[in-house]
Amino acid sequence: MAPPLKRTRGRLASRAPFRGSPVRKRSPVTQMDERLSPPTPPRLVLQEFPVLTTFFDGEIISKSRPFLTRKWDADEDVDRKHWGKFPAFYHYSNTFNSDDFDYEELKESDFVFMRWKEHFLVPDHKIKDINGASFAGFYYICFQKSAASIEGFYYHRSSEWFQSLTLNHVPEHSVPIYEFR
Amino acid sequence: MACVEAPLLTSVLSEVTAASRHYVDRLFHHDPQHVLQGVVDMKNAVIGNNKQKANLIVLGAVPRLLYLLQQKESSLELRTECAIVLGSLAMGTQNNIKSLLDCQAVPALLQGLLHPDLAFIKACLGCLRTILTSPVTSVELLYTTPEHQTFLFSNGAVPTIAPLLASPIYKVRIEALKCFAVLTYENPQVSLALVDVVVEGEGDLLPQVFVRMMRRDEPIEMQLTAAKCLTYMCRAGALRPDDVVIVLKTLPCLVRMCSKERLLEERVEGAETLAYLIEMDIELQRLASITDQLIPTLADYFKYPTPVSPIADIKRLDHDLKHSHELRQAAFKLYAALGANDEDIRKKVIETESMMDQIVTGLGDPILKVQLAAVRCLHSLSRSVQQLRTSFQDHAVWKPLMKLLQKVPDEVLMVASSTLCNLLLEFSPSKEPILESGAVDLLCDLTQSENAALRVNGVWALMNMAFQAEQKVKTDILQKLGSEQLLRLLSDSDITVMMKTLGLLRNLLSTKPHIDWIMSGHGKQIMQIVSLTLEGAQDPEVTEQTLCIVANIADGTLAKELIMSHTDVLQKMKFYLTHSNVKLQIAATLCVSNLAWHEEEGALERQARLRDLGFVEILQQLSQTGDPSLADKVKTALQQFP
């Protein structure tokens, strides 16, 4: 039998809850209550609609998934502008697109960079369009381990740029556990 | 005319059978001397007489001869004569060989090789040689145990066989190669030894000779067998999975064997060997998935077998039709190995034409081998939240899976229940219908199995089921499992059973109302369990899980007092706060933090008590720790105290 998947630890593990609020330049959102544990559905609350839950896929920026996105209509310029919005990224802004960028050093830092891609609605994954809510784009994400905080910027070529979100970890007192077999 | 002839034929047959029966009857005589004479007479009667040989086999001579051969009470002479007769019987037709194989003659004769008497060994070897050189015998039969492999290895099999790899005769080279394949299978000692062997005549190390034998201009059988040798050496730990021999030679060779141009049996063996090679290594899985369009190529395995050439060889077509199930099970096995760990690969596998339909059909296949392989495939794919929410939901795979869990052999039950563990996760839409189909009863029964692996799955599935579950699910689990069974599982001889049971308890005891409700009904027993486990725990992981349970209990509004009244548990918490293992320190800190939480009723009294017991002082010392996670937890805990 194939080996079990490794259990992850820390705040990004076991469906640890995060809470925060997005800052959007239009269509203000009253509340965003998100849970992060790739991949798990966050709940997006819109003024006009009841609660929506969507399924996200997350990729951690690493050697196999570098800073250069090369998909989802994001070119190097888009990458530079979005990653550049995170203060933690300044350290890498001159070297991030180089072939010999040191991703091992990145692993040791206090910051985890990610891309989050929304895929479908939960529970019915077949619904493709919701009026007023798009999940065609993706988020540039920066997670700070020591502060347990997440910052992100949404990108889609037809959307207004730099719609942002901020999330903070909600400590839990009683922690359940699950594990894939 | 037939009526007249039939009785005559029957009469002749019964005469022959009667004579043969006399030989067999003598083998059961109480006097050993009579038995010996009977065997000698039998030996003389069968020489060059296939009819007699066939008769004696039908009349049950073989099991009796094997019995006499293995009995310590039998004289050496008797044992030797039995081996000679068996050798003579083996020199009859292929049916004779099949009968000998069915009676387990090979292991008995192999045991004979350990005897000190040369004549006896020679007789056993003679019979073995006849059996093993027969086309109806599978070579793997020779080595039924690692002891056999090691015996042959210790007695110089390798230096004897290695030079044969350089023989100018193909038949000799291929048989030598097959020997290496069975010698290395799941045998680290032999595999490691082969790495440095130099093949005389080739002037090269054995692994390199195997690599040359995988060249495309070599016969397919040779390529495949050489690939098997290197695969087995890799899995036995003698070659690293990232060795160029594996990555650049063995893996691509096995992928080639899966091509449509190959014969059915080559495609089956290629796929099965490749699955075995990659199943434990994610990098090999990734490499295989991008080699030569393997994933779509395997999809052809499910299609109606087509003849290799347009001028259909009817025999070949007939053969392939009869064995198409072998292709299906091999494809499922390889897909299972490919999709075991990587989400991107799983997506590619699922997107293969009609994949889920094939799996659902496979789950209900009348042939066990196919069923088992299909459920293995499903298990690999079930390790994906996305697939659980989409393809698993669309095809309602839970239905054939639940059906499969009724009355199947342990082998299938093992993999099916592993799959169930994943389908019962909170984010799986199949969880509800599975619960309604009686999953709790099924899993509670499984926790009582004598098979430890099944007990593991039973409790693992219950643990996942209880994760963020509603109270009624938790009630159901507690009622049906019972506190006695829970206690038994917590003292199980298998540590994984113990760990998953602790995980189950942890999940039952989460969210405040549930914690208080469970502790009000079972608090005394649970505190006993916790106390005993902390006292006796050898494994730090067991301790960590138990402390997490204490931390969860400490989150309850009323349940906090149960901990506060247990001095021994409080003392253990103190002990682990200053332990060298940081994970245990973190878990213990969380316990203190929850007990002292300032927003809870009765917080001041609890804080005072904890301070008196010395907890605050210890936490203050701990705040100097270099570990950021611990420092953060300690800070939160200290903040609770005024």
What is the interface size between A and B, counted as CB pairs within 8 Å? 98
| A114: closest CA of chain B, how far (Å) | 17
| Least confident piece of the model among A81-85, B107-111, B566-570 | B107-111
Nearest CA among B317, B334, B197 for reference residue B258: B334
DSSP string, B125-149: HHHHHHHHTSTTS-GGGG--SHHHH
Tell me the shortest Cα–Cα distance from B418 to chain A, in angstroms: 6
Q: Which residue has the higher pLDDT, A96 or B253?
A: B253
Residue contact A57–B386, C-beta within 8 A: yes
- What is the Cα–Cα distance from B362 to B332, expressed in whole angstroms? 9
Q: Is B124 within 8 Å of B113 (Cβ atoms)?
A: yes
Nearest to B510 among A55, A145, A174 (CB): A174
Rounded Cα–Cα distance for residues A127 and B616 (Å): 54
- Compare B102 and B572 and report the one with higher pLDDT: B572
Nearest residue, CB atoms, A181 vs list B385, B421, B468: B421
Q: Is the CB of residue B502 less than 8 Å away from at least one CB of chain A?
A: no
Higher-confidence residue of B171 and B496: namely: B496
B502, pLDDT greater than 70: yes
Taken in order A56, A62, A64, A66, the sign of the CA dihedral is positive
Q: What is the DSSP letter of B306?
A: P
Chain A residue with the nearest C-alpha to that of B468: A176
pLDDT digits (tens, 9 = 90+) for B388-425: 999 999 999 999 999 989 878 999 999 999 999 999 99
Across the interface, of B421, B422, B467, the residue whose CB is closest to A176 is: B467
Nearest alpha-carbon partner for B255 in B228, B223, B291? B291
Q: Is A181 on the interface with B (CB under 8 A)?
A: yes
In the stretch 295-324 of chain B, residues with CB closer than 8 A to chain A read none
CB contact under 8 A, A178 and B393: no
B64-87 average pLDDT score? 94
What is the band of B315 on the pLDDT scale with cuts at 50, 70, 90? confident
Q: Measure A11 CA to nearest chain B CA, in Å.
A: 10
For chain B positions 380-399, those within 8 Å of chain A (CB to CB) are 380, 383, 385-386, 389-390, 393
Higher pLDDT, B20 or B589: B589
Residue B531 burial (10 A CB sphere; 0-12, 13-18, 19+): middle
Residues of A in contact with B515 (CB under 8 A): 174
Contact check, Cβ <8 Å, A178/B389:
no
- For the residues B68-72, what does the mean pLDDT come to? 91
Higher pLDDT, residue B57 or B141:
B57
Nearest to A125 among B379, B390, B466 (CB): B390
Question: What is the identity of the amino acid at A125?
Answer: H
Asked if A120 is an interface residue toward chain B (Cβ–Cβ < 8 A), one would say yes
pLDDT in tens, chain A (181 residues): 443 333 434 455 556 677 776 544 332 222 222 223 333 334 443 444 567 788 888 999 998 899 999 999 999 999 999 999 999 999 888 888 888 888 988 888 999 999 999 888 888 888 876 666 667 889 999 999 888 899 999 999 888 889 888 999 887 888 899 999 9
Measured distance CA(B633)–CA(B624) in Å, rounded: 12
pLDDT at B164 > cutoff 90: no
Give per-residue pLDDT as tens, B178-191.
889 988 999 998 99
- What is the reported pLDDT for B638? 95
Restricting to A residues 52-71, those with a Cβ less than 8 Å away from any Cβ of B are: 55, 57
Beta-bridge mates of residue A151 = A142, A166
Distance CA B65, CA B82 (A): 6
Measured between CA atoms, the residue of chain A closest to residue B453 is A1
The span from the CA of A59 to the CA of A67, in Å, is 11
> Is the CB of A175 less than 8 angstroms away from the CB of B415?
no
By the CB < 8 Å criterion, does B107 face chain A?
A: no
- Residues in chain A closer than 8 A to B340 (CB atoms): 2-3
Residue whose token pair is 């979005």: A82
Chain B contact for A26 (CB, 8 A cutoff): no
C-alpha distances (whole Å) from B288 to each of B224, B230, B250, B294, B340 are: 16, 16, 11, 7, 13
Compute the nearest-CA separation of B325 from chain A (Å): 21
Task: Note whether B555 contacts A174, CB cutoff 8 Å.
Answer: yes
Cross-chain CB nearest to B337 (options A2, A145, A174): A2
- Shortest distance between the Cα of B166 and any Cα of chain A, in A, equals 37
Nearest-Cα distance to chain B for A58, in Å, is: 11
Q: Is the dihedral of CA B270, B273, B277, B283 positive or negative?
A: positive
Kindly state whether B66 is in contact with chain A, defined as any CB-CB distance less than 8 angstroms: no
- Establish if A39 touches chain B: CB-CB under 8 angstroms: yes
The pTM of the full predicted model, rounded to 2 decimals, is 0.79
In this predicted structure, the answer to whether residue B10 has a pLDDT above a threshold of 70 is: no
CA distance A63 to chain B (A): 14
Task: Say how far apart CA B172 and CA B159 lie, in whole Å.
Answer: 15
pLDDT at B348: 96
A145 CB neighbours in chain B (<8 A) are 628
Q: pLDDT-derived band of residue B311, with 50, 70 and 90 as boundaries? A: very low
Report d(CA B97, CA B132) in Å as an integer.
9
Q: Does A129 touch chain B (CB under 8 A)?
A: no
Nearest residue of A to residue B505, measured between CA atoms: A176
Separation in Å, CA A61 to CA A69, A103, A142: 10, 8, 10
Min CA distance, A181 vs chain B (Å)?
6
Q: What is the pLDDT of residues B201-245, one digit of tens each?
A: 888 999 999 999 999 999 999 999 999 999 999 999 999 999 999
Using the predicted structure, report yes or no on whether residue B450 has a pLDDT greater than 50.
Answer: yes
* Alpha helices (runs of H) in B578-626, residue ranges in sequence order: 582-596, 603-612, 615-622
* B282-289 and B264-278 helices, crossing angle to 10°: 140
Question: Dihedral, CA atoms, B391, B396, B402, B408, nearest 10 degrees?
Answer: -60
On chain A, the residues whose CB falls within 8 A of the CB of B555 are 173-174
Q: Do A175 and B422 touch (CB under 8 A)?
A: no
Q: Which residues of A touch B636 (CB under 8 A)?
A: 171
Residue B167: Cβ within 10 Å count: 14
Q: What is the pLDDT averaged over residues B453-466?
A: 97
- Parallel, antiparallel, or unpaired for β A138-144 and A149-155? antiparallel
pLDDT of residue B345: 96
pLDDT of res. B18 = 75
Does the beta-carbon distance from A177 to B463 stay under 8 Å? Answer: yes
Cβ of residue B641 closer than 8 Å to a chain A Cβ: no
Half-sphere exposure (CA, 13 Å, Cβ side) for B609? 17
Chain B residue numbers touching A178 (CB-CB < 8 A): 425-426, 463-464, 467, 507
pLDDT tens for residues B591-642?
Answer: 999 999 999 999 999 999 999 999 999 999 999 988 988 998 999 999 999 8
Among residues A108, A152, A5, A64, the alpha carbon closest in space to that of B341 is found at: A5
State mean pLDDT over B103-127.
Answer: 85
Mean pLDDT value of segment B514-533: 91
Q: Is the pLDDT higher at B310 or at A73? A: A73
> What residues contact B28, with CB distance under 8 A and at least 6 apart?
B35, B64
Question: B460 — contact with chain A (CB < 8 Å)?
Answer: yes
Of B280, B461, B554, the CB nearest to A2: B280
CB-count exposure of residue A94 (10 Å: 0-12, 13-18, 19+): exposed
Six token digits for residue A54 = 């969507």
Q: How far apart are CA B521 and CA B149, in angstroms?
A: 57
**Angle at the Cα of A23 from the Cα atoms of A18 and A26, rounded to 5 degrees:** 135
Q: What is the pLDDT of residue B156?
A: 75
Q: Which residues contact B362 (CB under 8 A, 6 or more apart)?
A: B328, B332, B370, B371, B373, B374, B375, B377
- CB spacing of B457 vs A181 below 8 angstroms: yes
Position B152 scores a pLDDT of 76
Of all residues in chain B, the one with the smallest CA distance to A127 is B390
Percent of chain B at pLDDT exceeding 90: 70
Cβ–Cβ gap B393/A125 under 8 Å? yes
Averaged pLDDT for residues B374-389: 96
Residue to test with chain A: of B467, B470, B547, B630, most A Cβ within 10 A: B467
- Determine the Cα–Cα distance for residues B116 and B15; give it in Å rounded to an integer: 42
Bond before A39 cis per omega within 30 degrees: yes
3-state class (DSSP) for residue B233 = helix
Q: What is the ipTM of this complex?
A: 0.78
